[in-house]
Structure 1
Amino acid sequence: MDNTPHQESASGGEEKRLSLGEHLEELRLRIIICIIGLIVCFFLCWAFKSQILWVAKRPHSLTMESMGLSATLKVLSYQEGFFAYIKLCLISAFFLSYPMVLYQAWRFVSVGLYRHERRYVKMFLPFSVIGFLLGGLFGYFVLIPLALQFLIRILGPGIEPIITMSQYVSLVFLLTLALGLVFQLPLVMLLLNKVGVFTAENYIQWRKFAVLGAFILAAMITPTADPFTQSGTALPVMVLYEVGILLVRPTRRAFLYAGGLVGVISLLTLGVYAYLTLPTVGEVQRVVGTVEIFPVVATGRSPLPQTATKDVGAGFKPAPTKFYRGTTLRTGRGAKAQLFLAGGGYIRKGRGIRLYVNESSRLVLPGQRRVELLEGELLVAIEKDSGSFNVNTPSCVVNLENGETDIKVFEGTVTVTSIKGSVVVAVGEEKKEVRQGHQLRISPGGEPVDAEKVTGWTKGLDRD
Structure 2
Amino acid sequence: MALDQEFEKELEEEGAEMTFLEHLEELRWHVIRAVGSILVFAIIAYIFIKEIYRYVILAPGKADFWTYRMLCKLGDAVGVEGLCIKALNFKIQSIGVGDQFTMGLTSAVITGLIFAFPYAFWEIWRFIKPGLKPSEVRASRGAVFYVTFLFFSGVFFGYFIVTPLAINFLANYQLDESIINEFSIGSYIGTVATLTLACGIAFQLPVVVFVLSKVGMLTPSFMREYRRHSWIVILIVAAIITPSPDIYSQILVALPLMFLYEVSIVVSGRVERAKLEEEKGLTNL
Q: 1:176 aligns with which of 196, 199, 202?
A: 196
Distance in 1, matches of 2:7 and 2:32, equals 34
TM-score by length of 2: 0.74
**For residue 126 of structure 2, what is the aligned residue in structure 1?**
107
CA shift for structure 1 position 41: 1.2
* Residues 1:242 and 2:262 aligned together: yes
Is contact 1:140–1:172 with CA below 8 Å preserved after alignment? yes
AA matched with 1:125: V
Distance in 1, matches of 2:122 and 2:264, equals 23
What is the number of residues matched between the two proteins? Answer: 241
* Residues 1:162 and 2:163 aligned together: no
1:295-314 correspondence to structure 2 within 5 Å: none
- Give the match's secondary structure for 1:66: coil
AA matched with 1:136: V
1:56-75 correspondence to structure 2 within 5 Å: 56-62=57-63, 66-67=86-87, 69=89, 72-75=91-94
In terms of fraction of residues, the more strand-rich structure is 1
Distance in 2, matches of 1:68 and 1:196, equals 49
Provide, for residues 303-331 of structure 1, a one-character-per-residue CA deviation record: whole Å limited to 9, x for no partner: xxxxxxxxxxxxxxxxxxxxxxxxxxxxx
CA shift for structure 1 position 160: 2.9
* Residues 1:189 and 2:185 aligned together: no
- Give the match's secondary structure for 2:199: helix
**For residue 228 of structure 2, what is the aligned residue in structure 1?**
208
Would the alpha carbon gap of residues 9 and 78 (structure 1) be closer, same or farther in structure 2, given more than 3 Å must change?
Answer: farther
Is contact 1:121–1:191 with CA below 8 Å preserved after alignment? no
- Give the match's secondary structure for 2:97: coil
Provide, for residues 379-429 of structure 1, a one-character-per-residue CA deviation record: whole Å limited to 9, x for no partner: xxxxxxxxxxxxxxxxxxxxxxxxxxxxxxxxxxxxxxxxxxxxxxxxxxx
1:124-143 correspondence to structure 2 within 5 Å: 124-143=143-162
Q: 1:10 aligns with which of 6, 10, 22?
A: 6
CA shift for structure 1 position 221: 4.0
Provide, for residues 277-318 of structure 1, a one-character-per-residue CA deviation record: whole Å limited to 9, x for no partner: xxxxxxxxxxxxxxxxxxxxxxxxxxxxxxxxxxxxxxxxxx
Is contact 2:150–2:200 with CA below 8 Å preserved after alignment? yes
Percent sequence identity over aligned pairs:
29
Would the alpha carbon gap of residues 95 and 242 (structure 1) be closer, same or farther in structure 2, given more than 3 Å must change?
Answer: same
Structure 1 unaligned regions, length at least 5: 1-7, 251-464
1:217-232 correspondence to structure 2 within 5 Å: 217-222=237-242, 224=243, 226-228=245-247, 229-232=249-252
AA matched with 2:41: C
Structure 2 unaligned regions, length at least 5: 66-84, 271-285
CA RMSD of aligned residues (A): 2.7
Distance in 2, matches of 1:106 and 1:90, equals 22
Distance in 1, matches of 2:19 and 2:219, equals 32
* Residues 1:85 and 2:104 aligned together: yes
- Give the match's secondary structure for 2:142: helix
**For residue 279 of structure 2, what is the aligned residue in structure 1?**
none
Distance in 2, matches of 1:50 and 1:141, equals 20
CA shift for structure 1 position 136: 0.9
Distance in 1, matches of 2:28 and 2:88, equals 53
1:428-443 correspondence to structure 2 within 5 Å: none
More relative contact order in 1 or in 2 (CA 8 Å, sep 6+)? Answer: 2
Is contact 1:74–1:165 with CA below 8 Å preserved after alignment? yes
CA shift for structure 1 position 162: 0.3
Distance in 2, matches of 1:151 and 1:69, equals 9
Provide, for residues 146-184 of structure 1, a one-character-per-residue CA deviation record: whole Å limited to 9, x for no partner: 222222333275543102211111111221011111111
CA shift for structure 1 position 113: 0.8
CA shift for structure 1 position 195: 5.9
Is contact 1:45–1:93 with CA below 8 Å preserved after alignment? yes
Is contact 2:129–2:137 with CA below 8 Å preserved after alignment? yes
Is contact 2:45–2:111 with CA below 8 Å preserved after alignment? yes
**For residue 442 of structure 1, what is the aligned residue in structure 2?**
none
- Give the match's secondary structure for 1:163: strand
* Residues 1:35 and 2:54 aligned together: no
Is contact 1:132–1:184 with CA below 8 Å preserved after alignment? yes
Would the alpha carbon gap of residues 171 and 211 (structure 1) be closer, same or farther in structure 2, given more than 3 Å must change?
Answer: same
Rg (Cα) greater in structure: 1
TM-score by length of 1: 0.47
